[in-house]
């Protein structure tokens, strides 16, 4: 369990920078001050583009529920991984990127040393008890000069932050509600993943964890 004094959520302003390696940093509590706006925006997005379980190119159903906001959305099916302007389930554009998302992602990137980050894609991942994301690289984007900003909400999780080879030993990083991880530059293609979500309860999100992953895809 994440202890209250390590992450003083009660102040709503706790920000601590915790480097993971060159180009990667955990910003503890960075999203807390905006949590209500973020949660409301997620509700609006999910009402238009519900979470769904994508199929991997290998035919496996992903346990993590996914949806997107912004001009581009990350999708997977038997044909491969890619970014698409239209939600394949509805045939309509993905819900717009909320202003609160853009502001938070830009501010977190700047805090980690990547000024001027303007994401065009926000992947929203929903983990329920037992769901995990195996080690992978984010490499479907056009330009690896732009960082990745990853926001954790709800139930805490253990984030795996590996190296540039899948076999490199991964650091285990406990991520709580409001924590933000940024990786870019020499860390942009590091392998990462999430261990199976342990049973826990969050006052706004129940048994779930929601992760917002911001990227410049196009």
Positive or negative, the CA dihedral 112, 118, 123, 125 is positive
* Residues contacting ligand SIN: total by CB under 6 A: 9
Contact 155, 176 (CB under 8 A): no
Based on the shown chain and the rule CB under 6 A, indicate whether residue 68 belongs to the binding site for ligand SIN: no
Contact 183, 109 (CB under 8 A): no
Partnered with residue 157 across adjacent β-strands are 175
Based on the shown chain and the rule CB under 6 A, indicate whether residue 108 belongs to the binding site for ligand SIN: no
Distance of CA 108 to the CA centre of its chain: 13
Based on the shown chain and the rule CB under 6 A, indicate whether residue 208 belongs to the binding site for ligand SIN: no
Q: Kindly list the residues in this chain that would bind Fe ion in the complex (CB under 5 A).
A: 138
Based on the shown chain and the rule CB under 6 A, indicate whether residue 38 belongs to the binding site for ligand SIN: no
Q: Which is nearer to ligand SIN, 91 or 199 (CB)?
A: 199
Based on the shown chain and the rule CB under 6 A, indicate whether residue 67 belongs to the binding site for ligand SIN: no
Phi first, then psi: give them for residue 32, nearest 5 degrees. -60, -40
- Could you tell me the smallest distance in angstroms from the CB atom of residue 100 to Fe ion? 22
**Binding-site ranges for ligand SIN (CB under 6 A):** 123, 125, 133, 150, 159, 192, 194, 211, 213
């Amino acid at each position: 369990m994440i202890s209250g004094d390590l992450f003083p959520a009660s102040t709503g302003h706790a920000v601590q920078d915790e480097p993971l390696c060159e180009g990667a940093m955990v910003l503890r509590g960075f999203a807390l001050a905006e949590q209500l706006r973020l949660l409301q925006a997620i509700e609006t997005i999910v009402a238009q583009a519900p979470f769904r379980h994508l199929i991997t190119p290998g035919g496996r159903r992903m346990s993590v529920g996914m949806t997107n906001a912004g001009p581009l959305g990350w999708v997977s099916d038997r044909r491969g991984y890619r970014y698409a302007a239209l939600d394949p389930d509805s045939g309509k554009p993905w819900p717009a990127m909320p202003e609160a998302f853009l502001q938070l992602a830009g501010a977190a990137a700047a805090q980690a040393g990547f000024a001027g980050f303007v994401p065009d894609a926000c992947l929203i991942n929903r983990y329920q008890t037992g769901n995990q994301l195996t080690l992978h690289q984010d490499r479907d984007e056009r330009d690896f000069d732009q960082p990745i900003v990853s926001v954790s909400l709800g139930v805490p999780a253990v984030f795996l932050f590996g190296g540039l080879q899948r076999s490199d030993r991964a650091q285990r990083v406990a991520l709580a509600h409001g924590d933000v991880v940024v990786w870019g530059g020499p860390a942009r293609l590091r392998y990462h993943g999430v261990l199976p979500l342990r049973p826990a309860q969050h006052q706004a999100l129940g048994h779930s964890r929601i992760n917002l992953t911001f990227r410049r895809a196009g």
